[in-house]
Amino acid sequence: MNYQPETGADLARHANTELGARIEDAPIVAGVRLNADLLRHFYARHGFAPVWTTRPAAAASLVEAVLHAGDQGLEPELFHADLLRQRAALSPLDRDLVLSDAFLSYADALARGAVPVERRSDDEVLQPEPIDIAASLDAAMDRPDPGAAINALAPQTPTYLALLKALRKYRSAAASGHKAVPDRLRTIEVGLERQRWLPRALPAERAWVNVADQRLVLYRADRPVFSTRVVVGEDVRGNQTPEFRAMIDASFFDPPWVIPKDIVTAEILPKIDRDADYLAKNHMILLDSGEAEQLPGPEAGLGLVMFDMPNRFDVYLHDTPDREIFRRDNRRISHGCIRVQNPRDFAALLLRQPISRINQWIGIGSTTRQDLPMKVPVFVVYETAFLDSAGTLQLRPDFYQRDAEIWRGLERGDGAEG
């Protein structure tokens, strides 16, 4: 939850307070389980004493913000909206706990997503900078407008703001009876959630691969300077391209292709069984590790250029000898890696060299590594709602069915464990 846990001494010091004891007992109010970790961290800053009885104006401002969470594409029921409306009927201690839990959970959802990284699948690991949610709430409650201060934890990027505008537009259309609108609303609300998974300040120079759009864009000074088609992973779960952040630190020219063991087992070995000369024909050798290596050359699987971007998924940007695939609308045909249509132009921009120099490093008969003058962050995202280079909102199909999974997380109500 992006905080330092309290020590045993800290907890023992406050164990004699009624509120502290309630938190340690995993608090449940009106059948709703509260988030003990967030509450413990918050109330430790206040001596495990009630907070909101002496701050009615701040509480009212924050309640108003939570009840309007829908303006951010979030269901207010995620943050105990029903209990907040009926809070006068709660005991003073229960009321304080519910208010704190609602405010903390809402702030946490805005700051890092209502479906944070620990609740996502293993191939969705993008996340913003760490933030101390309890400290943020403390700072907000002392502001003239605490609700506005909490809402400011949401992204302020052009894409997020454009999606908020689209959200208002489509909700208005839905109220007028358009049938086609609910699906678009869902895509936009999921798009807002995906924006909350990103750093609040994106690097001014970055490579941006939107798997859903099957396109790579290079930004300099926050402006797009290069765009090209890409091939991405198949729709099959095990071959889908993951979502992550890495650093491109070098370009390899005439790279060999080390073929993973699972691909060797599933695809290469059956071909060898059918054709004893398969390895020789394709300039491959089997390795003791169970992997295979395809030697460098114009027909090698990685093509003539590969971009080194170490990451836990072993997913890379690279060239391909098969140029025809970029003519396809459906370019989801890889095992997860990303094939780039114009890799020489991309390499020239990354290395800050003319194309003629790039061409000199290609086809010399051996692999050459050229370090970038400055590492460039690359974001591999899956955005079915995004702004194109002209600033126009675009929607794409959810071919990996990931939006559907996120939507289920966004629909969680008060009965869910925080």
User: What is the secondary structure of 70-103 as a DSSP string?
Assistant: GGGT--GGGGTHHHHHTGGGS-HHHHHHHHHHHH
Tell me how far apart the alpha carbons of residues 98 and 87 are, in angstroms, rounded to a whole number: 8
Handedness of CA 410, 411, 414, 418 (dihedral sign): negative
Tell me how far apart the alpha carbons of residues 337 and 340 are, in angstroms, rounded to a whole number: 10
Q: What are phi and psi of 224, to 5 degrees?
A: -70, 130
Question: Tell me, what amino acid is at 262?
Answer: D
Residues of the chain with confidence (pLDDT) below 50: 1-5, 8, 11-12, 14-15, 413-418
The answer to whether the beta carbons of residues 325 and 331 sit under 8 Å apart is: yes
pLDDT per position as a tens digit, 276-297: 999 999 999 999 999 998 888 8
pLDDT of residue 7: 52
The answer to whether the beta carbons of residues 211 and 232 sit under 8 Å apart is: yes
pLDDT of residue 418: 38
Residue 119 has a CB neighbour count (10 Å cut-off) of 11
| 251 CA to centre of own chain | 26
CA distances to 207, 254, 350, 370 from 307, rounded to whole Å, are: 12, 11, 10, 10
DSSP of 384-403, one letter per residue? SEEE-TTS-EEE---TT-HH
Write b or e for each residue in 293-324: b if 16 or more Cβ atoms lie within 10 A of its Cβ, otherwise e. bbebbeebbbbbbbbbbeeebebbbbbbeeee
- Spell out the residues 6+ positions from residue 162 whose beta carbon is closer than 8 angstroms to its own: 387, 391, 393
pLDDT per position as a tens digit, 184-203: 999 999 999 999 999 999 99
pLDDT of residue 13: 52
Domain residue spans of the chain: 1-201+391-418, 206-256+296-383
Q: Which residue has the tokens 């943050």?
A: 79
Handedness of CA 349, 351, 357, 363 (dihedral sign): negative
Tell me how far apart the alpha carbons of residues 308 and 128 are, in angstroms, rounded to a whole number: 23
Residue 378 has a CB neighbour count (10 Å cut-off) of 24
- In the DSSP assignment, the letter for residue 72 is G
State both tokens at 264: 């060797």
The answer to whether the beta carbons of residues 395 and 184 sit under 8 Å apart is: yes
- In the DSSP assignment, the letter for residue 268 is I
What is the chain's Cα-based Rg? 26
State both tokens at 144: 């003239």
pLDDT per position as a tens digit, 138-188: 999 999 999 999 999 999 999 999 999 999 999 988 887 778 788 899 999
* Count of alpha carbons within 13 angstroms of residue 381, beta-carbon side: 26
Q: Which residue has the tokens 């209502």?
A: 114
Q: Which CATH superfamily is domain 206-256+296-383 in?
A: L,D-transpeptidase catalytic domain-like (2.40.440.10)
Tell me how far apart the alpha carbons of residues 398 and 119 are, in angstroms, rounded to a whole number: 20
Tell me how far apart the alpha carbons of residues 332 and 241 are, in angstroms, rounded to a whole number: 9
